[in-house]
Amino acid sequence: MNELIAVFTTSYTMQSVNLMLTYWECYICIALFARRFERRDFFFVRIALTLLEGMVVCYLLAIWYTETGSLLVRVLCYSAITVLNFTALVFCWKYDIQEMLLAFCSGIAAYQFTNKLYPLLQNLRGINDRETLALLHSDPEISNLDWAIFFGFHLLSIVLLAALFTPKNRLVHNRRTTRNVIILSIATVTLVNILICVSRVYEGESPMLNIVTKVLYVGFSFTILTICAGIFSQSEQEEQIGILHQLWRQDRAQFESVKANMDVINMKCHDLKHILDKIEGKLTGAEAASLREAIQFYDANIKTGNEVLDVVLCEKAMTCQKSGISFSCMADGGRLDFLTPVQTYSLFGNIIDNAVEAVKPLPLEERVISLSCREEGDVLVIEESNYFSGGLKLDHGLPATSKGDSSRHGFGTKSIQYIAAQHGGTMDIRVADNMFFLTIRFPLGKNSDITA
């Protein structure tokens, strides 16, 4: 029995236990961030194999480190465990390699954050973390409650970090994202393994240095988690901006087509007016009135001082007329010169299209859209109001799309907001009972020249 105890209390055996615990806890952290990934076949068999492999490798590394004891070997041992964790991730899950790298970095950061935060709390309470793992007292004797607090703290912290920092969207690939992922992965693996080994050597020189080292380490780990989440957020924003620019290119083509059609319609209406003047005597009063009403309907007579806005309003007025929608507009387009033609067409087109979609299902008397564009001091104010039915759910200040594919719908309002922001403006949405109000404010004289 004494011989068996002696085997398990050898220095390399104790060191191997420490390395195994490091490997397993880091493994759990990475697995929590990889939980949304697709599992490979025989998943649980693969899990068991990677855990057993880790035990063997950690034991061999412990023997190597115990025999040499150098700082470099310690760094290499922990680096080997890091590589082992990544190979285990790839062996058990299959997913996009860049997202796997970010989950890997997040898992490592979560592990280091938790394992430095707990001893930091001990140090702040005046407890030496090298002598005991208890959080409530400095007595080396450890009770069942101390073990429960220790494991409960680690488990709760890891689960909370995984819940807060696991992204809900897919990573959008581009050159910048790939570069950021590579740099972050290399920096995380290198700095974490060097810092954990170096800090462990010097943090015991003084209580204050011990606390400062752990604070810096906790901050560094939290920064990695934030950067990983930020890469996902940035890639999503870039994708949305790319979609908006794609929609603007479509709007450009549509504007050119509509303008050409409007020009042809105006010419034909002008000719029809002369023809009607000549043959009006041969028609009945009802026939002549019907023809004049038709000509007036297609004759573009909206003049706002902005040619592009005139085209938009004429096009949308025809759409409203066909759908039985009452559309009223009072617009001074002379101050819209800071917008490009595509931005003007997209801005007002989306405003009216959204309103048309909202009032179409309503009774005829509620199919009303009101639009105004006016100057108030040094601000250009665009206001639109319409009735709507049902509830309106706002998501980050924008109406949530009611269509199934939210990744491709809902960009009308996003485009409006983006154009406003590009020129230092704001977009506000307000609802009152069954009325919807959209207000856009542009500061005049301070708009940047941004082209679509």
Residue 267 confidence class, pLDDT cut points 50, 70, 90: low
CB 161 within 8 A of CB 110: yes
pLDDT in tens, 285-299: 565 565 555 555 555
For the chain, the structural domain boundaries read 2-239, 304-452
Given the candidates 3.40.50.920, 3.30.565.10, 3.40.605.10, 3.40.190.10, the CATH classification of the domain at 304-452 is 3.30.565.10
Pairing of strands 379-387, 435-443: antiparallel
Which long-range contacts does 275-284 make (Cβ < 8 Å, 24+ apart)?
Answer: none
pTM attached to this predicted model: 0.60
Q: Which of 197, 204, 286, 245 is nearest to 451 (CA)?
A: 245
Residue 346: its pLDDT value, please?
84
- Dump pLDDT digits (tens) for 339-388: 888 888 888 888 998 899 889 889 988 899 999 999 888 899 999 999 88
Which is more confident, 194 or 48?
48
CA of residue 53 relative to chain centroid, distance = 37
Q: Using the Cα atoms of residue 246, residue 250, residue 252 and residue 255 in order, give the sign of their dihedral.
A: negative
Burial, 429: exposed, middle or buried (Cβ in 10 Å; 0-12, 13-18, 19+)? middle
